[in-house]
């Protein structure tokens, strides 16, 4: 009798599905909807079995020492502050910089507005607030939701508004942006296509229409953001010969991850971004553009894509790599310092691999994964990452004796910002000697 009950329990839902989905086309459409709802997109070169295993594997927990801030810490690190810049300290000038980064948005303008407002990037009307110096979005604005057109237009508006108030918007391309321009539309909803009018109009806009143009002009595959202007503007290449105390005072942003054995890591970030620009150009100038998959066959990369461009889009490339999020703690923490050294950075920040409860910090904040499933497609926690940096002159009486050289106090606080609280992920303070 138990076997009969078990058999019926398995057969009844299957029969019900087939009664509703009376044709193969209906069944295929149903399967596509289920696939589009998976938390992890999988690379087209992966087979379904591997994808299912990835889907079931949970990201490892964050650093155990991370904790919610106390009321005192909330006051010290209030996100309602002003953007950074120079501050007078006696005869010397101190420097502050505030950075906010947000992960995957996936077609949800409403939740994106909430997140940027709570992080003081925008005001209540969705306009640039002037409360931060840099806002970084790490890709995957597209797919799973219907607000694609509105979100990219909003990013363009914020980019212009920020410049008028001394701020900067940095945006990365995620694997879903690349999938769409390739013609891989496995995670595109029909309701989102309808906002463009037709599939043909959607493809035209992604190729060389407004969205395609802003991808080519304003989006990079990765970013290197210095914490102090002495290192140059955003995306200045790391100079391996720089032996100053601030040589690595920078943070990298990328959608997937910078794999330890990725062959085109340096010079960073220009090598990766040059490959991204050349591959995007080839994809956007295919004539005719590919018919989207599904229902048509997967078009793949252009035939003239170089081996380096193919590796850029490979599973080990910066768009798809998940090792920093999913590999064991001992493995990632033993490998991270080498990548930080070669890229001239202190931390790597990425999206792509969601944890629906919190921003994940690993290896003492050297690895931070900021995708928390912000979109209603996931229902994850609303979150943003805040980095507050300061370099302040101090007198010789306060610190160590340095002769004629200037002494500075450097402070960096990295926090996860949520709707109802703030959590310090990493903090550091040290004294530096030099001319900055």
Residue 402: the pLDDT is 56
Write out pLDDT tens, residues 263-294. 999 999 999 999 999 999 999 999 999 999 99
Q: What pLDDT is stored for residue 93 in this prediction?
A: 75
CB 81 within 8 A of CB 390: no
Average pLDDT, the chain: 86
At 110 the three-state DSSP class reads helix
Give the tens place of pLDDT for each residue, 380-410: 999 999 999 999 998 755 555 556 778 999 9
Per-residue model confidence (pLDDT) at position 397: 52
Distances 344 to 11, 233, 239, 341 between C-alpha atoms, Å:
58, 14, 8, 5
What's the rounded Cα separation, in Å, for the pair 6 and 53? Answer: 25
Binned at pLDDT 50, 70 and 90, residue 319 comes out as: very high
pLDDT, residue 73, reads 38
Task: Please name every residue paired with 410 in a beta bridge, in sequence order, or none if there are none.
Answer: 391, 430
Average pLDDT over residues 22-27: 46
Residue 142: predicted pLDDT: 98
pLDDT digits (tens, 9 = 90+) for 180-224: 999 999 999 999 999 999 999 999 999 999 999 999 999 999 999
Mean pLDDT of 420-434: 96
Mean pLDDT of 219-244: 97
Query: Facing residues of 88 across strands?
Result: 93
Residues 258, 222 contacting (CB under 8 angstroms): yes
| Per-residue pLDDT reduced to its tens digit, 157-166 | 999 999 999 9
> Are the C-beta atoms of residues 40 and 378 closer than 8 Å to each other?
no
- Could you tell me how many residues make up the chain? 436
Scan for tokens 């040059």, then name that residue.
274
* b (16+ CB within 10 A) / e for 356-386: eebbbbbbebbbbbbbbbbbebbebbbbbbb
- Tell me what the mean pLDDT of segment 226-231 comes to: 97
As a CATH number, domain 59-433 is 3.60.21.10
pLDDT at site 82? 59
Residue, of 365 and 88, whose pLDDT is higher: 365
Task: Pick 150 or 6 by higher pLDDT.
Answer: 150
**How does pLDDT run across 48-86, given as a tens digit for each residue?**
434 444 443 444 445 644 444 433 333 333 445 557 776
- Calpha distance 103→136 (Å, rounded): 9
d(CA 332, CA 348): 12
Percent of the chain residues past pLDDT 90, beyond the cut:
75
pLDDT at 424: 98
Mapping DSSP to helix (H, G, I), strand (E, B) and coil, where does residue 195 land?
Answer: helix
Please tell me the pTM assigned to this model: 0.85
Q: What percent of the chain has pLDDT over 70?
A: 79
């Amino acid at each position: 009798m138990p076997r009969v009950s078990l058999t019926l329990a398995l057969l009844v839902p299957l029969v019900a599905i087939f009664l509703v989905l009376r044709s193969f086309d209906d069944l295929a459409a149903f399967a596509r909807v289920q696939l589009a709802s998976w938390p992890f997109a999988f690379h087209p070169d992966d087979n379904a079995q591997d994808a299912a295993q990835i889907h079931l594997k949970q990201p490892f927990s964050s650093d155990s020492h991370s904790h919610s801030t106390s009321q005192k810490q909330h006051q010290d690190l209030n996100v309602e502050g002003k953007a950074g810049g120079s501050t007078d300290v006696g005869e010397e000038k101190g420097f502050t910089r505030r950075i906010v980064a947000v992960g995957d948005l996936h077609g949800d303008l409403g939740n994106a507005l909430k997140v940027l407002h709570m992080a003081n990037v925008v005001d209540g009307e969705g306009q640039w607030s002037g409360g931060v110096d840099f806002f970084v979005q790490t890709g995957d604005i597209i797919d799973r939701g219907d607000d694609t057109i509105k979100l990219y237009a909003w990013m363009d508006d914020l980019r212009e508004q920020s410049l008028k108030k001394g701020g900067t918007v940095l945006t990365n391309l995620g694997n879903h942006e690349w999938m769409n321009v390739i013609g891989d539309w496995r995670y595109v909803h029909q309701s989102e296509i309808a906002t463009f009018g037709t599939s043909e109009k959607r493809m035209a806009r992604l190729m060389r229409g407004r969205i395609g143009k802003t991808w080519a002009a304003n989006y990079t595959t990765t970013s290197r953001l210095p914490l102090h202007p002495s290192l140059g503007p955003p995306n200045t290449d790391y100079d391996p010969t720089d032996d100053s105390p601030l040589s690595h005072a920078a943070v990298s942003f990328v959608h997937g991850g910078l794999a330890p054995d990725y062959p085109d890591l340096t010079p960073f970030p220009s090598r990766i971004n040059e490959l991204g620009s050349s591959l995007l150009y080839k994809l956007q100038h295919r004539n005719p553009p590919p018919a989207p998959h599904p229902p048509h066959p997967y078009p793949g990369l252009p035939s003239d894509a170089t081996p380096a461009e193919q590796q850029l889009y490979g599973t080990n490339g910066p768009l798809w790599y998940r090792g920093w999020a999913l590999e064991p703690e001992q493995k990632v923490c033993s490998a991270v310092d080498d990548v930080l050294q070669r890229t001239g950075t202190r931390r790597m920040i990425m999206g792509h691999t969601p944890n629906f409860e919190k921003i994940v910090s690993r290896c003492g904040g050297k690895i931070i994964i900021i995708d928390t499933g912000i979109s209603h497609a996931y229902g994850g926690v609303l979150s943003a990452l805040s980095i507050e940096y300061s370099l302040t002159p101090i007198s010789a009486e306060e610190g160590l004796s340095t002769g004629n050289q200037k002494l500075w106090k450097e402070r960096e606080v990295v926090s996860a910002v949520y709707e109802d609280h703030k959590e310090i992920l990493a903090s550091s303070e040290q004294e530096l000697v030099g001319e900055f």
